[in-house]
Structure 1
Amino acid sequence: MPDYQLSPGLICQLRDIGGAVHNTVGIFYIVICLVLPWTADAGAYFIGSAMGKHKLCPNISPKKSVEGAVGGVIISVLCTAATCLIFQYWIFSSGVKIHYFAVILMSLAGAGLSILGDLSFSLVKRGCHIKDFGNVLPGHGGLLDRFDSVIFVVPMIYFVTTMYPVVTI
């Protein structure tokens, strides 16, 4: 299966986890697939802008810093945990349990993959001599620039959640 089809197909698979009775479990996994990388990106940007001194990969993406990457991982773990708490106490029924230790491990791995996805697509852009993948989202690059990190995170979340259910009913 081509890489560009892998993540969208797996998002559809994640949606169906929990079945018709507990469809909020699938929605939870989709929300995590978006919250985790987007907060890692935002956290890396803000922490890196404020405190970044050491370049992460200057030949690929000169503005990314080690401090930003670490900050992005921390922010992502915190925001993913907060999302879990929101689902646990306001959206899921009382019989649904989230395994927070697994969520934290998944968040750490996902934040790292998010950074890897961002850097990988930056490398592609460098090779094509373009700054952004489009202009659909002014100030944010193209649509692919918003989803470059998500593309790497979705397969990991899918495989982790099918091998070890992070949410149990």
Structure 2
Amino acid sequence: MLKTRVMTAAVLLAVFLSGLFLLPKNGWIAFCAVLLGVAAWEWGALAALAAFIRTLYAALVVGLFVLPEVLADSWARGPYAPAWIYYAAASFWLVLVPVWIWRQPRLGSRALLLAAGATALVPAAAALVDLRGVHPSLLLAVLGTVWISDTAAYFIGRRFGRHKLAPSISPGKTWEGVAGALAAVGLYALAWAYLGSVLAWIGPMKVAPAWVLPVLLGLAVAGIIGDLFESLIKRQAGVKDSGTLLPGHGGILDRIDAPLAMLPLAVLAFMR
């Protein structure tokens, strides 16, 4: 199982890095739109939508994402998405979702679940465009926080995990895994801050090197919230994985659960 996970991750990383560094602006937007469409399709499945309605939902979500590009060539004029989208996403992830995880309500309305999906997915896709617009290396460095956090949580949790983080939502996650994730991200942040002068070539950023540590730790916590939220949605849908597209990993949503919460906040931290 671990070998399959590693092989799939290697292929995904190669595809992602190729798109990140080689695609032109419109090609990258199209890449993000495809990723978003698959994720929205999987979210529709979690909401138990019929295939045709699920397709319409995915098309609507992708349409919301590409709307700024349809209206104007915003890449050349400034950020891809307006600031209010990221502030709305921040409110969703930092206020509504923690309450959702704590109370664990079963929504009687599919419309609310689908609205939550669009709120989670569209700002994250826009953030992929905006962060890459500063420099591909900035987006890669931000996503490095996710990968380091997930890897450390997995191995530290397996080795030392004793105290469950949210047993009714995700029994495999432990507080020890969270501690390991934050420690690893802390070391990553210190390395980033130490190399802060080298980072000048990726363009101006709002966060000074001294603030990289608290910012990345905050992003790591947001990633954990995103992970738990997707786990809750899957548990309430009665499924283990969001899909079967990625051998050893499940679906696209299973790979982007943490970045969904982290990416919009990263835009606010590094660009606004």
AA aligned opposite 1:42: T
Of structures 1 and 2, the larger Rg is shown by 2
Matching of residue 61 in structure 1 with residue 178 in structure 2? no
The match for 2:234 is 125
CA distance in 1, matches of 2:185, 2:252: 21
Q: For 2:172, what is the secondary structure of its paired residue?
A: strand
1:154 Cα deviation (Å)? 0.4
Q: Which residue of structure 1 lines up, in the alignment, with residue 137 of structure 2?
A: 28
Contact 1:33/1:150 (8 A) holds in 2: no
Most deviating of 80-89 and 137-146: 80-89
Between the aligned partners of 2:186 and 2:216, the Cα distance in structure 1 is 5
Give TM-score scaled by structure 1 length: 0.80
Letter in 2 for 1:6: P
Cα distance in 2, alignment partners of residues 96 and 156 from structure 1: 17
Pair 28,56 (structure 1): closer, same or farther in 2 beyond 3 Å: same
Question: Does the CA-based 8 Å contact 2:165-2:175 persist in structure 1?
Answer: yes
**C-alpha displacement of 1:92:** 5.6
Q: CA deviation at 1:70?
A: 0.9
Partner residue in 2 for 1:20: none
Residue 8, structure 1, aligned to residue 97, structure 2: no
Tell me which residue corresponds to 1:22.
none
Match for residue 115 of structure 1?
Answer: 224
How many residue pairs match? The answer is: 153
Give the superposition deviation at 1:32. Answer: 2.4
SS at match of 2:261: helix
CA distance in 2, matches of 1:82, 1:141: 32
Question: 5+ unaligned residues in a row in structure 1: which ranges?
Answer: 18-25, 164-169
Question: Which runs of structure 2 are paired with 1:1-169 in the superposition (5 Å)?
Answer: 2-3=118-119, 4-17=121-134, 26-82=135-191, 89=198, 93=201, 99-163=208-272
Give the % identical residues: 33
Q: Deviations over 1:112-164 (max 9, x none)?
A: 0111110000000001101011122211221211110001000111001123x
Deviation of 1:16 after TM superposition, in Å, equals 2.0
Q: Secondary structure at the match of 1:136?
A: coil
Contact 1:114–1:152 (CA under 8 A) maintained in structure 2: yes
Deviation at 1:86, TM superposition (A): 6.7
Instruction: From the superposition, tell whether residues 132 and 6 of structure 1 become closer, same or farther in structure 2 (CA, over 3 Å).
Output: same
Q: Which structure's residues are more often strand, by fraction?
A: 1
* Deviation of the 1:81 alpha carbon: 4.1
Structure 1 stretches of at least 4 aligned residues deviating more than 4 Å after TM superposition: 83-89, 95-98
Unaligned runs of 5+ in 2: 1-84, 86-117
Task: Note closer, same or farther for the CA distance 1:110–1:138 as it changes in structure 2 (3 Å cut).
Answer: same
How big is the alpha-carbon RMSD for the aligned residues of Structure 1 and Structure 2?
A: 2.4
**CA contact 1:28–1:87 (8 Å) conserved in 2:** no
1:37–1:114 Cα contact (<8 Å) kept: yes
Q: 1:32-82 deviations in whole A, cap 9, x for unaligned?
A: 231111211111111110101100000000010001011111112223444
